[in-house]
């Protein structure tokens, strides 16, 4: 993500419990497994799903795996920009 100017160094995974009791405008899932196992968010106003390939499943030479991660990253970035541009 740093390659495209997005610093995630202060981000962390969060438990769904951190969001209980909060109003949530959008619940977004980006992989089919998450869509099947993602918990229900009470108060979620809109649920949006867009499936992308799971880059963690990639195997092969490091440069091929890295290229796959970049491809999925760029697909997600493009989708987010198009989907949320006017929201």
As given in the structure block, the two tokens for residue 1 are 């993500």
Question: How confident is the model at residue 87, as a pLDDT?
Answer: 67
- 38: Cβ contacts below 8 Å, ≥ 6 apart: 27, 29
Domain residue ranges in the chain: 19-51, 54-87
Question: How confident is the model at residue 34, as a pLDDT?
Answer: 61
Q: Are 55 and 68 in contact (CB under 8 A)?
A: yes
Below-50 pLDDT ranges, the chain: none
Question: How confident is the model at residue 39, as a pLDDT?
Answer: 64
In angstroms, the CA 83 to CA 48 distance is 10
Question: How confident is the model at residue 60, as a pLDDT?
Answer: 96
Question: How confident is the model at residue 29, as a pLDDT?
Answer: 82
Question: How confident is the model at residue 46, as a pLDDT?
Answer: 86
Question: How confident is the model at residue 21, as a pLDDT?
Answer: 83
């Amino acid at each position: 993500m740093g390659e495209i100017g997005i610093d995630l160094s202060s981000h962390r995974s969060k438990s769904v419990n951190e969001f209980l009791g909060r109003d949530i405008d959008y619940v977004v899932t980006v992989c089919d497994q998450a869509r099947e196992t993602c918990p229900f968010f009470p108060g979620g106003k809109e649920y949006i799903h867009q499936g992308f390939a799971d880059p963690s499943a990639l195997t092969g030479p490091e440069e091929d795996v890295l290229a796959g991660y970049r491809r999925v990253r760029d697909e997600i970035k493009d989708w987010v920009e198009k989907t949320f541009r006017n929201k």
